[in-house]
Amino acid sequence: MDIPALSRWDTHIKTLGHGTSGRVDLYQCRGSTMVYAIKKYDPKEKHEDFSDYRTRVSNEHLILSRLNHHNVIRSYKLECSWLRSSVQLYLQYGGNATLKGLIAKKCPPSEMFCFVKQLQQGIRYIHSEGVCHRDLKFANIMITPQGILKIIDFADARLGPRCYGIIGTSSFCAPEVFSSLDYNGYKIDVWAFGIIVYYCIFHRFPWNVAKSECVEFVAFINSCDLNLSRLPAHIQTVLTQCLTVDPTQRPGIDSVDTSSWIAGIDCCTPTNSCKYDHCRWFK
């Protein structure tokens, strides 16, 4: 991994955003055009001691440090100043475009499928390394100007499948997150992947939240019908599998990979470009 020469004299370019765990800023290396991001974690909660705080904020770096894939953001280093309880994570910059942003720009579904396959490959990789993300959503999927998708924000990621608690963004959460004390983290990533694919095709969510209070979701449970009849059968199969309500019957991401649709998509990699000129969306 090429790590930029980081310096306290690097130039702050702009603030990229502020999430639930901290603020992210973009920096440019002194004397070069290379850029990177710094995530500055929020101070510890009042109920936390320093040991718990260190464990919580170090989790993202520890998980990212074991990952090395072009569809996953990279972590360069973690910098701690415990006396001031200041913690900063230095990260690869994942670009400033999102899947939802490309949809808003009228990017056609056929072109979006390049990113669908890249997302599937990224999820397959992190699962193969024993990591579940738990908060896959549009805001955590970035696109570089070269058309490479990056999964970002591993603050809630965990090692191993067994997970607890309501984590994630409600529109992307699997039903078992709300109904079970513990659940399989890999399977909730597969559900979120299905929701993202559905949105890429229909430009809307199938329901607001996968809970019994949601009329649209209850209607889906009763009918098992996602209204996919206008789609090719192989795309219907992927969506139906990913959005299987019973997590024990929901396939792993590897099974999604074997579908004729996903396998047949030509997608961008660092050494290969698909047939679409993604750069036009960044001009």
Mean pLDDT of all residues in 264-273: 93
Residue 209's pLDDT is 97
Does position 85 have pLDDT exceeding 70, yes or no? no
Report angle CA 270, 197, 151 to the nearest 5 degrees.
40
Question: Percent of the chain at pLDDT above 90?
Answer: 69
Tokens 């072009």 correspond to what residue?
70
Residue type, 100: K
Specify whether 26 is located in the same domain as 125.
no
Q: What is the rounded CA–CA span in Å between residue 61 and residue 65?
A: 6
Q: What is the rounded CA–CA span in Å between residue 6 and residue 29?
A: 6
Any idea what the CATH number is for the domain that residue 119 is in? 1.10.510.10
**Domain end residue (candidates: 50, 74, 92):** 92
Specify whether 179 is located in the same domain as 276.
yes
Quickly state the pLDDT bin for 83 (edges 50, 70, 90).
low
Specify whether 20 is located in the same domain as 141.
no
Quickly state the pLDDT bin for 84 (edges 50, 70, 90).
low
Quickly state the pLDDT bin for 52 (edges 50, 70, 90).
confident
- What is the residue range of 50's domain? 11-92
CB 25 within 8 A of CB 37: yes
Q: What is the per-residue pLDDT across 89-148, written as a single tens digit (0 to 9) for each? A: 999 999 888 888 999 999 998 899 999 999 999 999 999 999 999 999 999 999 998 899
Q: Which residues 6+ apart lie within 8 Å of 31 measured at CB? A: none
**Domain end residue (candidates: 41, 62, 92):** 92
Asked whether residue 1 is domain-assigned, the answer is no
Specify whether 81 is located in the same domain as 104.
no
Does position 189 have pLDDT exceeding 60, yes or no? yes
Specify whether 162 is located in the same domain as 226.
yes
Residue 215's pLDDT is 94
Specify whether 61 is located in the same domain as 128.
no
Specify whether 261 is located in the same domain as 141.
yes
Specify whether 160 is located in the same domain as 271.
yes
What's the domain count of the chain? 2
Does position 229 have pLDDT exceeding 80, yes or no? yes
Specify whether 44 is located in the same domain as 166.
no
Any idea what the CATH number is for the domain that residue 43 is in? 3.30.200.20
Q: 98-108 as b/e, with b when 16 or more CB fall inside 10 Å?
A: bbbebbeeebe
**Domain end residue (candidates: 31, 66, 92):** 92
Beta bridge partners of 23: 18, 40
Specify whether 83 is located in the same domain as 157.
no
- The mean pLDDT value of the chain amounts to 91
Specify whether 138 is located in the same domain as 272.
yes
Q: Return the closest-CA partner of residue 38 out of 85, 83, 93, 84.
A: 93
Asked whether residue 170 is domain-assigned, the answer is yes
Residue 270's pLDDT is 94
Does position 40 have pLDDT exceeding 60, yes or no? yes
Q: What is the rounded CA–CA span in Å between residue 267 and residue 276?
A: 9
Name, of 28-42, 174-188, 256-270, the range with top average pLDDT: 174-188
Residue 2's pLDDT is 66
Specify whether 64 is located in the same domain as 101.
no
Asked whether residue 6 is domain-assigned, the answer is no
